[in-house]
Amino acid sequence: MTYNALIRLASQWPLVLGSRSPRRVALLQELGIAFQQFIPAVEERQEAGEPPYAFARRMAETKALETAAQMNAGHIALGCDTIVVINDEILQKPRDEDEAFSMLSRLAGRKHVVCTALALSEGTKLLASGWELTEVFFNSVTAPQIREYIRSGEPADKAGAYGIQGMGSFLVDRINGHLDNVVGLPRTLLNNLSEKVIASLNKPPPVPS
C-alpha cells in the first residue's frame, strides 16, 4: 500500500503528530516522512448521550486543534483518538489492574470494535476528520492467562487494556479490517484525509467579480 497523498502533504507543509503514543510515532516513521511530535493536554470525557464514534471524532478534532494552536502558521496538526467499543460502551484505558482484569474478562471469547478517529487542522481551522472501524475477535482465555498478561504492565496505557502488536497478540483470534487501525493510526484513512486537505489548501482563491 502506498500513501502518496500523505507523503505529499508532509512534503508541502510541516506535519505535527499530536499524540504521545510511541505506536503512532512508529507507524508514521515507517513511511519515511518528516514530522514533529506534540502532546496536547485534552480532557477525555464522553458527554451524556454522545455516541462512541462521535466521541472519538470529537476527541481527535479537539487534539488536532489544540496541537495546531501551539504551532506557527502553516503547520498541519494531526489529532488521533482510539477507543474500544463493546455493546455500544467505550472501554477506556484501565485505571488499575482490577479494571484491566474486568475489561479483558469481558472481551474474552467475544467480538468488539476498535474505532480510531483522525483529524487534521491548521491554525484555528479544522481541515478534515473521520474514523475507521475494525472488528476484533478475542480468543477464550482463562483468568490466570489474563492475570499473567496484566503483570507484564502492557495493558496499563491501552484502550481496552490490551496491545495487539505486543504480548497481547495471544488474546486475538482474528480481525476484520486494518491492523494499523487497531494499533492506533489507520494510514489509509489518513491518506484519504490528506488528499482532501491538499485539494482544499491548494484551491485558488475566488476571482473578484
What cell was used for 110? 467475544
Contact 75, 13 (CB under 8 A): yes
DSSP 148-197: HHHHTTGGGGSGGG--TTTGGGGGEEEEES-HHHHHT--HHHHHHHHHHH
Instruction: Judge whether 173 counts as a catalytic residue.
Output: no
Give the active site residue among 81, 88, 98, 180. 81
Helix, strand or coil, per DSSP, at residue 28: helix
Residue with cell 484501565: 94
Q: How many CB atoms lie within 10 A of CB 126?
A: 18
Q: Using CA atoms, how far apart are residues 13 and 33, in angstroms rounded to an integer? A: 11
C-beta of residue 78 within 8 angstroms of C-beta of residue 64: yes
Closest CA to 65 of 120, 4, 136, 131: 120
Active site residues: 81
